[in-house]
Chain A
Amino acid sequence: MKPHARMLVAGVIVPLIIAAAAAVTMLFTLPSLPDPVAVHWGPSGAPDNFGSPVSFIVVILVAVLAYCAFALVISRAAGPQTANLRALLAISPFLATVLGVLGAGSLIIQQGLADAHDAPSILPLVIIGFVVGLVVGVAAWFFLPASTPVPVVDEAELPLLDLGADERATWIQRVEPARWLGILLVAVGAIVVVGGSLAVWVSAPTSTFVGYLVTMGVLVVLVTSTLFWTVRVDARGFAARSPLGFPRFTVPLADVESATTIELNPATGFGGWGLRWGGPGRFGIILNSGEALEIRKKSGGSLVVTTAQSRQGAALLNSLVRRVE
């Protein structure tokens, strides 16, 4: 089976079959159900909300259909197959199974009841649903095509520059998030910190408020430290350092296989922004779309950083490697 067909089967077709089977099962239970049926259970295990069994079926079908539509779109997106995409697709049959077991099961346990208030606890069904869902999801993960390997680069096409035998050269760039990403993060951060602080201030004791502020402060520092980087190439090799000095990623010159400049669309190539995996052994500091520097390591895998003037950085790194060899 072709990789794309596997993506369709696991992400769209199987979940639809599961949802359809659950819906048919639910339809067969309709004649022997109380009206209304229990549609929601409280933390005590007793039902606390009631509704029509038909609307229940519709909600589950719509939820599965919506995720299948999403899976269909992402499976057709251009770009290499990544671990992120694989996980997003494997979630589709997991979701359909959990919803199907919960939906069909919750109607089956109500069959023959006169009053839905007497419905038994749904907890066993939740556990069964999650376990079966996990098994199906993991099976889908292994059925889905593995991430595409990093494409091989033509040695002759590597960027190079003139470097004298005694010349010392450096390439240093500051890497910052795309403007819209920065604005979005500041806005979300402000809402969480200010809104959350207010909510905690009015509803909890002062010690909780202080704890909340400290936690938020640590979070803001951690997030910020992965958004701003200084990357450099010199005789020691490659290094990307955040303002705090940690996290920090380095590739010693002796471990550099080659460096290239690539065009990156994080929505497909790496499946998001931030520090991420983009395939086996391929790690990225992705803060922009567009050009990025990719460094392939002799020890396997590669490091990708979105940065301006990536061609210059790649050329210097390749030239330094050639000079040592």
Chain B
Amino acid sequence: MYLSVDPSSSTPLFEQLVAGIRAQVIDGSLAQGERLPAARDLADSLDVNVHTVLRAYQVLRDEGFLDLRRGRGAVVTARARDYAQLGRDIDRVVAEAQKLDLTPSALTAMIRKAFE
């Protein structure tokens, strides 16, 4: 697993971790059943607080991408399936939004509204 964080970015570190791991689950480079590094090891390796990693793992668990089990660590769930179609749909939505000069945050707000 390759992960990188940029402390100078305005995005919180745990969100950068979440985005990095989630992207790898979605593109399939982290397969179902694969065990992620222990939070302590990952924190040491990236020189971040262990709670930052644990928080990222918890967010991914809440999103259904990870299973957190005592003793087994963080395991990629069966939810990791084919996101290819969704990826293509999003490309179309973003292209449409750009045509309409919508900012990313405006588009996100619209998507969030559609969920409610």
Contacts and interface: CB of A to CB of B under 8 A. Distances in A.
Contacts of B71: none
Contacts, number: 51
A219 B45 CA distance: 31
B46 interface: yes
Contacts of B6: 164, 166-168
Contact of B7 (A168, A174, A309): A168
B5 interface: yes
19 contacts: A163-B4, A166-B6, A166-B8, A167-B6, A168-B4, A168-B7, A169-B2, A169-B3, A169-B4, A170-B3, A170-B45, A172-B1, A172-B37, A172-B42, A232-B37, A232-B45, A234-B45, A235-B47, A309-B29
Contacts of A309: 2, 29
Interface in A202-242: 230, 232, 234-236
> Nearest 3 CB-CB pairs, A to B?
A169-B4, A170-B45, A234-B45
Contacts of B35: 174
Nearest to A171: B2
Nearest to B1: A172
Interface of A: 163-164, 166-174, 230, 232, 234-236, 309, 312, 316
Which of B2, B29, B46 counts the most A-chain CB atoms under 10 A from its CB? B2
Given A230-B37, A232-B41, A316-B2, A170 B8 contact: no
Given A168-B46, A168-B48, A234-B46, A173 B1 contact: yes
